[in-house]
Amino acid sequence: MARIDATLLDRADALLRELPVTRVVRLPHPGIRLHAKMESENRTGSSKDRAAIWILREAVRRGEITRDTTVVESSSGNFALSLASFLDALGVPFVPVLDPNVNAATERTLRRLCARVEKVTEPDGTGGYLLSRLARVARLRAELPDVYWPDQYANPDGARGHYELTAGELLADLGRIDYLFVGVGTGATINGLSRRLGVARPDAKVVAVDVDGSAIFGAPPARRLIPGIGSSIRPPLVDTARIGEVLVLSEVDEVAGCRALLREHGIYAGGSTGCVYAAITQYFAGRTGPEPVVAFLCADGGEPYADTVYADGWVAEHLTPVVTKGANA
Ligand SMILES: Cc1ncc(COP(=O)(O)O)c(C=O)c1O
């Protein structure tokens, strides 16, 4: 076991204390009382900051990360951005392992913050790149002398970050929650939020939102293009989440949901948030009677998706064309 680096622990604790509290905003919506927690207001623009800082602080506290360590992680983008930002502040080198679906803006930022960036090019036979990225991580762990691998797909500390921070704030803001809709990738968010809700609001229903081509809820993995939710494996963190219902939408729904959220509420969000919004809209369509309190996370902002989800040309070329209004070409 490595020696605990007290200076590093102080810095990690300070980063954790300095995290912003993200706003919960009310969105007027037919039939429901809808609220969005704006995780896009985090330091690096996504909900992944909560998992990343908790994982890093705990690893430093256990002596698994010192200033001699290199952190290596596979990520489709947002988690890598969070790690890159916090590790830069901590003075610890980080090697992200990316794949071709990474947003161009995310890759540019990572190349500015990290001396070394690895990018796999070979699909892994499941239609995605996850297994190729994990194989590259394994190679780097064998190659470099003192490596810490956060393993975001299985690390309970990531879920703990959402349990303590994201869920803690949401509960402080909303006295009542009847439904919580959560997009699923590694399962850290739904694990942390659903377990905390199970304690504090046991009657609340947690609805998991996934996308076609994802293997998380038992379907065979297939090609997916929009990073964020979905996975070509079933992450172990999903097994211990408290999930009431699962909705699986298409990438076309993701695009339509993003554009509807922008038009109807002025929120310019990333693909996963659009998918969750589409799920909520479909789920409560035509609902009458008492209005339930419904919450979801705006997991990241739309700008990194400007050339994909929000670009008609990209959508027409890569997905079944959708009828759009007010979107950029
Ligand atoms: C934008 C966005 N939304 C949702 C998720 C899913 O969160 P989790 O990995 O905690 O399941 C991710 C994960 O990368 C993401 O980047």
In a domain, 279, yes or no: yes
Going from the first residue of the chain to its last (329 residues), give the mean pLDDT of each consecutive group of 10, the final group possibly shorter.
Answer: 87 97 97 98 97 98 97 93 98 96 91 97 83 95 97 97 98 97 98 98 98 95 89 94 98 98 98 98 95 98 95 93 46
* Co-location of 165 and 200 in the same domain: yes
* Co-location of 226 and 131 in the same domain: no
The number of angstroms, rounded, from the C-alpha of 170 to the middle of its chain's C-alpha atoms is: 17
Contacts of 175 (CB under 8 A, 6+ apart): none
Distance CA 77, CA 113 (A): 13
Q: Domain containing 141 — which CATH number?
A: 3.40.50.1100
* Co-location of 25 and 59 in the same domain: no
Q: Residue 66 belongs to what domain range?
A: 49-148
Please state the φ and ψ torsions of residue 146, each to the nearest 5 degrees. Answer: -135, 95
In a domain, 214, yes or no: yes
* pLDDT at 125 (0 to 100): 80
CB of 183 sitting under 6 A from ligand 1: yes
**Candidate from 189, 217, 232, 275 with most ligand 1 atoms within 8 A of CB, to mutate:** 189
Domain final residue pick, 148, 177, 209:
148
Residue type, 190: I
In a domain, 197, yes or no: yes
* Co-location of 163 and 141 in the same domain: no
CB of 274 sitting under 6 A from ligand 1: no
* pLDDT at 329 (0 to 100): 35
CB of 228 sitting under 6 A from ligand 1: yes
* Co-location of 31 and 167 in the same domain: yes
Distance CA 52, CA 87 (A): 10
* Co-location of 35 and 161 in the same domain: yes
Q: How far is the CA of 229 from the centre of ligand 1 (A)?
A: 5
Domain final residue pick, 103, 130, 148:
148
In a domain, 328, yes or no: no
Contacts of 3 (CB under 8 A, 6+ apart): 63, 66
Other Cβ atoms less than 10 A from the Cβ of 129: the count is 25
* Co-location of 166 and 300 in the same domain: yes
In a domain, 1, yes or no: no
CB of 270 sitting under 6 A from ligand 1: yes
Contacts of 42 (CB under 8 A, 6+ apart): 19, 20, 22, 48, 49, 50, 82
* pLDDT at 126 (0 to 100): 76
* pLDDT at 321 (0 to 100): 55
Give pTM, 2 decimals: 0.94
In a domain, 323, yes or no: no
Domain final residue pick, 124, 148, 172:
148
* pLDDT at 323 (0 to 100): 46
* pLDDT at 313 (0 to 100): 96
* pLDDT at 128 (0 to 100): 77
DSSP code string of 48-65? HHHHHHHHHHHHHHTTS-
CB of 78 sitting under 6 A from ligand 1: yes
* Co-location of 247 and 98 in the same domain: no
* Co-location of 267 and 236 in the same domain: yes
Distance CA 242, CA 205 (A): 9
* Co-location of 199 and 263 in the same domain: yes
| Nearest Cα residue to atom 2 of ligand 1 | 228
In a domain, 324, yes or no: no
